Every structure is written in C-alpha cells, then in structure tokens.
Amino acid sequence: MAYFASLNPHALLNSCPGGVAQGLIWGIMALGVYLTFRVLNVADLTVDGSFATGGAVCIMLVLAGWNPVLALLVSFAAGVIAGLVTGFLHTALGIPDILAGILTQISLYSINLNIMGKANQAVNVNKVALPFTSNAKLLSRTIGITAVVVVALISLLYWYLGTETGSALRATGTNPNMSRAQGINTDFMKVLGLALSNGFVAVSGGVLSQYQGFADVNMGRGAIVIGLAAVIIGEVLGEGLMHNKLNFWLRLMWVAIGSVIYYIVYVFVLWLKFPADDMKLLTAIVVAIFLAVPYLKAKYFTRSYTVKYMTRRRKGEK
C-alpha cells in the first residue's frame, strides 16, 4: 500500500511530454535502424557509436558558436562517414556485416573522446538558444519542431526508396543475387544504405544532445536495441491496427510512433519506481521476445504443426 501511495499521478503526467519529445528524437534514429535492419537486411551495430558521434559533433560545434541547425548537418555528414567506413569494411574487405559494425563502433568510441577532448561536454542552455531544448516552457515547441522534422525525414525516405536507386537498394536487401543479375552493384548499394542510415542516427544523436544540453561518450550505448524496439513495436502495432491499409509511408510513420510509445512506456516504468539501472536489461528482454515471436510462430503455430499434433492426440499418442 505504501508503494502505491508513494506513486504520484501528477508526476507521471508531468514527465509524459518529455517522454514524447525523447521518443520523437529517437524516432529519427529508429528510421535509420529500419533502413538497415528491415530494408537492407543488415543488423548494423555502428549506430551505437555514430549516435554519440552525432551528439559530440553537434555539441562541440555549438560550443564553438555554430548555428545549432548547421551543426546538425555536420552531425549528419559525420554519421555518413561512419556508415561509409562500416560499408567499406564489409564490402571491400569482406568482413561480416555485424563485425564490421562492431569495429567501427569501437573505433568511434576513441574518436568521440577525441572530438570532445573528454568523456562529456555540455553547453550552457541558458545562454545558447537551441531549437530542440528541453526547457519546460518551450517543450511543446520542441515537440512540434521534432515532429515536423520526423515527418519530413519520413517523407524524404519514402520518396528516396521509391526512386530507381531506392528500388535498387530495396532489391539488394531482399535478394542480392537477383539484384546483381539485374545489373545492380549490390556492394555500392549496401555502402549507400549504411551511410544514409548512420546519417539519420547521427542527426538523432545531435538533436538529443541539444535536448539534454550535453553529449556523452556513452550516450549511444545500446542505441541499436532501442532502435530495434521502436521498429518492432511500430510494426506490431501498425500491422495489428491497420492490416492491409498499412502502406509504406504509414509503416515508416509507425516506426517513429513505436519509438514514442517506447519512451512513454519507459517513463511509465520509471514512474513505477523500476530501477533505472535495469532498464537496458528490460529493453533487451522485450526486444528478444518480439524478435523471437515470428520464428516461434512459424515453427509451432503453423497449420501443419497443429494438424500433426492433433492427429497424434487423436491416435492416443502423446
């Protein structure tokens, strides 16, 4: 009882807008993860590093007096370069995609420390006007701007994937053999996809660093898992609620919504006084379960399995 009495509904209500803002910011990151994980069919672990790189670059440029929006463009470029490196390791040097991502990620840790000169850097948010501020008075504006950015990026991604090169990118992810037979340079498309994806991720890191007023070398730790959580939550809900009305644009929309839902749940679980230290464990478990569901469904809940099981039962076997 004492536990329930200690929960303050007002506090939950107060922390919700922050959850929405963070969810939208991570939504940009989730779009990047969608591009590699779903479109290109590659689990790219570069993102844990490039997310922090985006944040580090953005904060250092703002500290140097740059326009915060311009700083985000440089974050994007930094992410693109990180993706190019992973792509190079994978396609030109033949390193398996996951390992290539890990190598870039681990080297980015050092690079991020070099960019910032120490483990974290902060801007004085009272002196610098940032478009993506977490200042409580301007939070609704931040949410508005972020939402516009997210929708713009979704539209951009939607447009690009519909073009000739974008189609080639999708084909590469679906069937590389067929793609090469149709004259598509699959290595190039993979590098391009990885670059674009990490560009998105770095922008997300940059926006988050503005939001929280600092960048930290560890800010991207486990980012891939959060990105996957957003993608999966979005897909499950989107497919469940919209069925065949779920076109590709809406599918991308649901990825961003998935990220917002993830953060609202995050806020809620923290409000329930779940230890913050255990949140990454909880996220990992949730993602593992959701990733396992399609596999287990295909293995145990198909018609043929049920029929076999039922027949065996009827025959009196166990």
Partner 1 sequence: MLEINRVSKTFNPGTINQKTALNGLTLHLNPGDFCTVIGGNGAGKSTMLNAIAGVWPVDEGNIIIDGSNVTQLSEHKRAMFLGRVFQDPMTGTAATMGIDENLALAARRGHRRTLKWGVTKQEQTQYRELLASLDLGLEDRLTSKVGLLSGGQRQAITLLMATLKQPKLLLLDEHTAALDPKTAAKVLELTDKIVAQHHLTTLMITHNMRDAIAHGNRLVMMKDGQIVLDIAGEEKRKLTVEQLLERFTDASDRMILG
Query: What is the total count of residues that contact partner 1 (CB under 8 A)?
Result: 22
Which of 205, 210, 165 is CA-nearest to residue 189? Answer: 165
Task: Give the binding range for partner 1 (CB under 8 A) out of 116-124, 157-165, 233-241, 264-272.
Answer: 157-165
Residue 160 binds partner 1, judged by CB under 8 A: yes
Q: Are 108 and 49 in contact (CB under 8 A)?
A: yes
Buried b / exposed e along 171-190 (16+ C-beta atoms within 10 A): bbbeebeebeeeebebbebb
For the chain, the maximum distance between any two Cα atoms, rounded to a whole number of angstroms, is 79
70 binds partner 1 (CB under 8 A): no
Residue pair 207/72 in contact (Cβ under 8 Å)? The answer is yes
- Among the listed residues 104, 179, 198, 259, the single contact to partner 1 using CB under 8 A: 179
Closest by CA to 235, choosing from 251, 249, 217, is 251
Assign residue 175 a region (left: φ > 0; alpha: ψ between -120 and 50; beta: otherwise).
Answer: beta
Nearer to partner 1, 94 or 183 (CB): 183
Q: Which region, judged by CB under 8 A, interacts with partner 1, from 127-135, 155-163, 195-203, 285-293?
A: 155-163
Of the candidates 90, 170, 190, 251, which one interacts with partner 1 according to CB under 8 A?
A: 170
**Residue among 165 and 218 whose Cβ is closer to partner 1:** 165
- 3-class SS of residue 214: strand
Read off the tokens for 169. Answer: 């990118």
Find the binder of partner 1 among 5, 64, 93, 181 (CB under 8 A): 181
Q: Shortest Cβ distance from residue 238 to partner 1 (Å)?
A: 16
Considering only residues 17, 158, 175, 270, which one is a binding residue for partner 1 as defined by CB under 8 A? 175
Q: Is 180 in the site for partner 1 (CB under 8 A)?
A: yes
Judged by CB under 8 A, does residue 290 bind partner 1? no
Interface with partner 1, residue 165, by CB under 8 A: yes
- 218 is an interface residue for partner 1 by CB under 8 A: no
Least spacing, CB of residue 40 vs partner 1, in Å: 12
Contact status: 166 vs partner 1 (CB under 8 A): yes
Give me the torsion for CA of 37, 42, 47, 50, rounded to 10°.
-130
* Binding of residue 158 to partner 1 (CB under 8 A): no
Element (H, E) at 157: helix 139-162
Does residue 178 bind partner 1 (CB under 8 A)? yes
Binding status of residue 171 toward partner 1 by CB under 8 A: yes
Q: Which of the 8 DSSP states describes residue 129?
A: -
State the nearest-atom distance from the C-beta of 244 to partner 1, in Å.
Answer: 11
Q: What is the DSSP string of 173-203?
A: HH-HHHHHHTT--HHHHHHHHHHHHHHHHHH
Binding site for partner 1 (CB under 8 A): 160, 162-168, 170-171, 174-175, 177-186
